[in-house]
Amino acid sequence: MIRFDQVFKRYPNGREALAGVSFEVGDGELAFLTGHSGAGKSSILKLIALIERPTRGQVIVNHQNLNGVKSGRIPHYRRQIGVVYQDHKLLEDRPVMDNVALPLIIAGIPKREADKRVRAALDQVGLLGKEKSRPLELSTGEQQRVGIARAVVAKPALLIADEPTGNLDPDLARDTMQLFRRFSEVGVTVMVATHDVHLIDEIGARRIVLEGGRVQDEGRPS
């Protein structure tokens, strides 16, 4: 599902975030991306979401070489993946309903069908009944789950999350990780960037360890 092949990323300010990263994540796999801050976790997720382009090397997602995706096609590409952001990135002046429905509205799904799918997604993250609330009326954990519901509502084959438990207390963090586990169990490829090593050990999933822009441990049993 995801393949990085000798990927380098150097930002305009000269900082080299990735220095020859290669790894592979298979269909339906759950993988955690760990490492100190600045190790390159966020850069990898940004390359997958096409927020950034690699300086060198190839990123292949869902059989598409991202170097071949023209900027005009980026919106279309992004609709195929679900992304959960650390700061949630919700529309604060819109109710939860509209926030979660956004990917469906963009994809042109009729309203009735969209409403049904939004409710299903909210049910999966345990927020059914909060459709009319505004994001700022919700707790951080709930906002995070609204973000997750939005990421999965269009049923993408790939779900990526950037530090989804960063602002959550341990119990909520554990619940959130379990949620990702459940998505992977129904066939969604899930990649989560986190520095919460204990939680990963608890869940017992694959760990890709980054260090200074390189893969230190691909987490495959050798």
Partner 1 sequence: MKIGAYFARHAQTFIGSLGRIVNQPFATFMTMGVIGVAIALPLVLNLFLQNARSATGNLNEAFDLSVYLDKKAPASRAPALLKQLKLRGDVAQVRLISADQALKEFRDDSGFGKALDALTDNPLPDTLVVTPSLDASTPRGTDELKAAITAMPDVQSVQLDTEWVKRLHGMIDVLRRVVYLTGGLLALGIVLIVSNTIRLDILNRRAEIVVMKLVGASNGFTRRPFLYSGLWYGLGGGFLALILLAIASLVLKGPVAELASLYGSDFRLKGLGFGMAASVLGVAAMLAWAGSWLAATRHIRAIEPV
* Residues engaged in binding partner 1 (CB under 8 A): 49, 51, 75-79, 83, 85, 89-91, 93, 102-103, 105-111, 150
Nearer to partner 1, 103 or 219 (CB): 103
Minimal distance, residue 80 CB to partner 1, in Å: 8
Written as one string, the DSSP assignment of 36-89 is STTSSHHHHHHHHTTSS--SEEEEEETTEEGGG--GGGHHHHHTTEEEE-TT--
Nearer to partner 1, 56 or 89 (CB): 89
State how far the alpha carbon of 165 is from the alpha carbons of 135, 180, 193, in Å.
17, 11, 10
Nearer to partner 1, 105 or 197 (CB): 105
How many residues does the structure list for the chain?
A: 222
CB count within 10 Å of CB 169 equals 10
* Closest by CA position to 82, among listed 49, 122, 41: 49
Minimal distance, residue 167 CB to partner 1, in Å: 18
Minimal distance, residue 207 CB to partner 1, in Å: 26
Q: Which two tokens stand for residue 53?
A: 């382009």
Q: Rounded distance, CA 62 to CA 27, Å?
A: 9
End-to-end Cα separation, the chain, in angstroms: 20
Nearer to partner 1, 46 or 206 (CB): 46
Minimal distance, residue 179 CB to partner 1, in Å: 19
| DSSP-derived 3-state class of residue 22 | strand
Nearer to partner 1, 85 or 183 (CB): 85
Minimal distance, residue 123 CB to partner 1, in Å: 20
